[in-house]
Amino acid sequence: MTVCEIPDVKDSIRQYKLQTVSVVVPLYNKKEYILECIESIQKQTWNKLEIIVVNDGSTDSSEKIVMEVSDDPRIQMYSIKHSGPAKARNVGIEHASGEFITFVDADDFIKPTYIQRMVSAIDDADVCVAGFKVWYQKKDLWKLYRSTSMEYLKDDFLRNYLKYSHLVSGVGWKLYRTELVCKNGCRFPEDLRYGEDFFFFNQMLRFVKKLSMIEDMSYIYRHHDLNSESCIYGINIEARELYYNKILELYDVFVEKEVKTFLLSKEIVLLGWLGICMCRMTNKFSEKRAKFRELAKKCHVSKQGCMKIPWFKSKLTFISIFCIYTNSFLPFYLVEKLWRLSYKGT
């Protein structure tokens, strides 16, 4: 393993190692999971790898655990002041020298053939997107998010965007051409508290010409318990508004009206969903509801338009929309309860 300083790297003069895959692992206080993550990468059947671990100011023994893996020269370790996963991934991008780049979170892991299948499938495409599995570890339950074996030109992919909406979120289960990422300055927005992975993929769509999809589900996303106050109320309204505004910046990527509707209505509903619950607790409902409705009108989002989209055909989301567009007090209680029940029943 190599422990590295962080020099300046100019994208324009990079030399990329053919067929090598740079695997970026942002690390912050994941001592329970990091060894399993690193070992799953080391055991890949595709051995042309560089494993870039970016320690994001961990205060537990995470860094020490990685340092103990001293017999693998493919591992590089960078340490930064705690700045969040977006910054850590960006540092990884800056030092990736492989022809391809992928991301694995420190509490996730991958099956041995994951990278080999991605590299084999990408062919002349710019991005390869796979399926993945979600592991609800405490309950030992699994949920499968399937992809399909297809190749798309960008415009064709956008016309099928809604079909793959469950795959475009999340930083994992994707393989990118490093040169495309770096040449176009694609980075994770460091000012977002959440959703930076969704933003990164959609930012990449500006520059992608062709995408490859594979059915493989060898990426294992570890789902932690969300039944806590910090998870439900931890992201404030301002953070959601910032995310929403970032999504607006991506408008010129999408060629289909329905795709724009999906992006905006989803975020409007999530903004209202959490925000109204918070406003109920802070007695600012009238003021905030008016703001949500103003945003919805600005983006031409309607209840009818939302309900035509598959993602919104759930009772939980319908009640969320109802909260935004009505003055009824009862849905506030229902949204909060159904939010919790949706995870208890998963």
For the chain, the structural domain boundaries read 2-223, 229-344
The architecture that CATH gives domain 2-223 is Alpha-Beta Complex (3.90)
Distance between CA atoms of residues 341 and 346, nearest Å: 8
Distance between CA atoms of residues 46 and 19, nearest Å: 10
Instruction: Report the run of H or E that residue 229 belongs to, with start and end.
Output: helix 229-233
Count the residues in the chain.
346
Q: What is the mean pLDDT of each run of 10 residues along the chain (346 residues)?
A: 50 73 97 96 96 96 91 94 95 97 97 97 96 90 91 90 83 96 94 85 92 96 60 53 73 69 63 53 56 59 55 52 50 48 43
Radius of gyration of the chain (CA): 21
pLDDT at 286: 59
**Per-residue CA distances from 111 to 40, 48, 54, 329 (Å):** 7, 16, 22, 48
**Per-residue CA distances from 97 to 13, 33, 140 (Å):** 11, 26, 37
Q: Give the side-chain half-sphere CA count within 13 A for 155.
A: 1
Q: What are phi and psi of 140, to 5 degrees?
A: 55, 50
44, with CB counted inside 10 A (0-12, 13-18, 19+), is: buried
pLDDT at 302: 57
Q: Which residues pair with 328 in a beta bridge?
A: none
Tell me the pTM: 0.78
Helix (H, G, I), strand (E, B) or coil at 169: coil
Strand order in the sheet with 2-3: 2-3, 75-80, 49-56, 17-27, 98-103, 174-177, 127-129, 210-213, 150-153
pLDDT at 290: 64
Q: Are 50 and 72 in contact (CB under 8 A)?
A: no
